Structure 1
Amino acid sequence: MRNQIAIAASSILALAATPAMAGGDWENTLNAQIQGPLTIGTVSLTAEMEETAQNVGPDDVQDLLADLRSDAEQSLGKAGLLGSGPSAVTVNLYLADAEPNRPTHWQLSGKGVFGDSDDPRARVSQSNSLSLQSIALGGVEVTAEFVDQTGASLGTVTYDYEENTLEDVKGYATWTTANRGIERFARKLPGKLTPTS
């Protein structure tokens, strides 16, 4: 009986010590089944992300947009959904949010704000004490909007991916979580093209 109690207690402790895994949430507003061939249209920032872009730096944002386009082209092409010419449906990709795990060069130079703080006093003190060892949760939100030939929206598929604890990001590079989220979004997008109820 003692052994069973000890085993049960150690199992509970092991579960409690297991770090929370990063998670992603999907939102699907499609009003019709999306079928290929598709054309990738614009790959851009949402209005909200324009503000965040000022904090992380234009070069980093352009790199994330290039990764988003490349990963989506590869995934949709591999699934046989990407056409080579004009298509009945265009998919526009939007970077809605992106937060780094470590400060960008832009932030380290004092031009941007690292972390999630709306207090201007905290922003000043953060920028003065930033280093490459500074860490944050990081994350990304990406949206694919599907548009027919008339310009009418057929709906969107959105993926929001972030880390849950700082313990999980200690060995990460600047954009590890965001890059992982973009890759997962692109890889799973072909399987998300059916309306959900």
Structure 2
Amino acid sequence: MRLLIASAITVLTAGSATAAPLSTVASVDVQIGPELHKKAVEDLGEKDVQRLAAELRRDVQRELERTGVLAGGRMELVLTDAKPNRPTMRQLGKKPGLSYESFGIGGATVDGQAISVEGEVTPIHFQWYESDIREAWRKPTWADANYAFDRFAYRYGRGETYAAR
């Protein structure tokens, strides 16, 4: 009887050791949409937009690691729009009369899809733009866009954001 139990345990542990462990972290891929890329080349500056895409990826990755949502799956995001609160360095260089003291409301739009381990695809659409200019005078260049990323990551990590219908 002991031999039977010992051999059963050996078989079970050997089987689990050879099976690939399920990743607890989802992979996040962020692309820049074609319209935003064009806007970056012509006006905003490519470095700024690349930094925004990296920031979006970091925020979402951090929140998915923290909450365990989409474990083993992947998220393919497209940064489709971003508006700065202040002029970017590229804009300041192109327009001599423009001042960094200029300000406005900003925000961002994120689209894409989440793909679970089972292959289930969930469309994603999230946008947030500030609606009140009264606080914009004290914000740095990409404050509202970064806030939109944080808000998206937080809400997605808690299952509150999927596709806007």
Q: Hey, what does 2:17 align to over in structure 1?
A: none
Moved over 6 A (4+): 193-197
In 1: Cα distance, 2:162 partner to 2:85 partner: 33
- TM-score using structure 1 length: 0.63
RMSD of equivalent CA atoms: 2.6
Q: Hey, what does 2:100 align to over in structure 1?
A: 132
Query: Are 2:157 and 1:169 equivalent residues in the alignment?
Result: no
Query: Are 2:32 and 1:45 equivalent residues in the alignment?
Result: yes
The answer as to whether partners of 1:44 and 1:95 remain within 8 angstroms in 2 is: yes
Larger RCO (CA under 8 A, 6+ residues apart)? 1
- 2:105 aligned counterpart, secondary structure: coil
Q: Deviations over 1:55-104 (max 9, x none)?
A: 21111111111111111111011111364xxx3x3211211100100001
Q: Hey, what does 1:192 align to over in structure 2?
A: 160
Cα deviation for residue 46 of structure 1 reads 1.4
Distance 1:193 1:137, change over 3 A: closer
Q: Hey, what does 2:92 align to over in structure 1?
A: 108
Query: Are 2:123 and 1:156 equivalent residues in the alignment?
Result: yes
Question: How many percent of aligned residue pairs carry the same amino acid?
Answer: 29
The answer as to whether partners of 1:73 and 1:82 remain within 8 angstroms in 2 is: no
Computing the radius of gyration from Cα coordinates, the structure with the larger value is 2
- 1:192 aligned counterpart, secondary structure: coil
Structure number having the greater helix percentage: 2
Query: Are 2:115 and 1:147 equivalent residues in the alignment?
Result: yes
Cα deviation for residue 145 of structure 1 reads 0.9
Q: Hey, what does 2:46 align to over in structure 1?
A: 58
Cα deviation for residue 51 of structure 1 reads 1.8
Cα deviation for residue 129 of structure 1 reads 2.2
- 2:114 aligned counterpart, secondary structure: strand
Cα deviation for residue 149 of structure 1 reads 7.1
Runs (5+) with no aligned partner, structure 1:
1-35, 111-126
The number of residue pairs the alignment matches comes to: 141
The answer as to whether partners of 2:114 and 2:123 remain within 8 angstroms in 1 is: yes
Runs (5+) with no aligned partner, structure 2:
1-22
